[in-house]
Structure formats: structure tokens, C-alpha cells
Amino acid sequence: MSASNLAILVPWVIHHGYLIFLVAATIEGPLTTIAAGVAAALGYFNIYIILLLAVAGDFGGDIIYYSIGYLSHHLTRSPFLRYFGLTERRVTRIQTLLHTHTRHAVLLVKFSPVIGPIGLIIIGSARPPFKKFFQTALIVAIPKSIFFALIGYYSGQAYLQLDRVIAHGQYIILGLAAIVGFIYLAYVLLMGRITKSLEE
């Protein structure tokens, strides 16, 4: 994530409001949630509503992708899966895990910055116990969504505080956006390492 991405996303979220934020958070949670957190810090949204919608969007997306897989078994055989980072080895690994360790497989998919929605579709197609999927996805969605919303919120708060004492506000927000981008990159790299360890 670059500073320019955040600079574009924040006004976009502000302009479209809560409902469109919920839709965007369902499709692409982390970046949109960070932007909404910044917007809340600037006074455009209520941070508690953003937290609630971020969790609902993240978890709602999981349910939607699971349902797509549940209703469409043939999708898991599509050759296009490899373009989304899902090699045959990964697909087989996820399906094998689902039969022995359902929660482990859900964590593998949820923590992966690469597999994402396609992995959830694969999980749905295998039709594991819905209760286990539901509980695990929710347990991951809550802290993950809160984490990204609060990164945005406290970055926005820092901007407001610094802007009162420093005249060049545009440099401050670029600096904060770079810091947030670094945190997001660190998150992606960490989740990538966790995913590899889960796959082994």
C-alpha cells in the first residue's frame, strides 16, 4: 500500500458513506478499513460503527465465498485457480486439512495474503461442518478488522495532533500514510510466513 492509495481511498470512503464501506469491506477489507478508520478520526464517521461494519464486512465476505463454493463444486477444478496463487498442491493441502483439521484449514486460508476468497470457495466446496467454519472465521475476523480500523483511526488522530503544530499538513499525511503502508506490508509478510508454516 502506498501513500497515494490511502490518499485516494480516504476521500472515496468519506464520499460514499457507511453502506458502500460495508460493501467494500466485504470485497477488500484491510485497505478500506484503514481508510475508514482515518475518516473516523477526521470526524466523518463514528469509529464504533466502522468497527462493527468492518467485522460484518470481513465475516460476511467469508460466508459469501463459502456459500459460492458450497453451491458450485466445479469451481475447485478450474485451471484459473493457479492465477490466484492456488496451486494444485495448495488445493489438495486445504482439502486434506478439511477432512482432519477443519479449523486449521480455515486459519490457513484466512491468514494467507495470497489465497483469500478463492481458498474460502474451496473450503465451501468441500462442505466441512459449518459450525466449525463459522466459529473459526468469526474468531479471526473480529481482531483482524479491529486491528486495521484502529491503525487508520490512530494514524488519523496523529495527523490531527501534528497538523496543529506543523504548517505543512500534506507532508504529515504522506508520512503517516507511509508508516501505515509499512505496517500493512509487515502484516502481509508475517501472514505469508504463518501460511507457509501452516502448509508444512
Which DSSP string corresponds to 88-127? Answer: HHHHHHHHHHHHH-HHHHHHHHHH-TTTHHHHHHHHHHH-
Q: Answer whether residue 80 is part of any domain.
A: yes
Cell 464520499: give the residue: 15
Specify the higher pLDDT residue, 7 or 86.
7
Residue count of the chain: 200
Q: Answer whether residue 137 is part of any domain.
A: yes
Residue 78, classed as helix, strand or coil, is: coil
Amino acid 44: pLDDT: 92
- Those residues whose C-beta lies under 8 Å from the C-beta of residue 90, and which sit 6 or more positions away, are 115, 119, 199
Per the structure, the complete domain to which residue 35 belongs is given by 3-194
Q: Answer whether residue 23 is part of any domain.
A: yes
Most confident listed range (64-73, 96-105, 181-190): 64-73
Q: Answer whether residue 200 is part of any domain.
A: no
- Average pLDDT for residues 145-164, to the nearest whole number? 78
Which whole-number Å values give the CA distances from 172 to 93, 183, 185, in the listed order?
A: 45, 17, 20
Which of the residue ranges 65-79, 81-95, 106-120 would you say has the lowest mean pLDDT? 81-95
Specify the higher pLDDT residue, 9 or 35.
35
Q: What share of the chain has pLDDT > 70, as a percent?
A: 63
Count of structural domains, the chain: 1
What is the pTM (predicted TM-score) of this model? 0.73
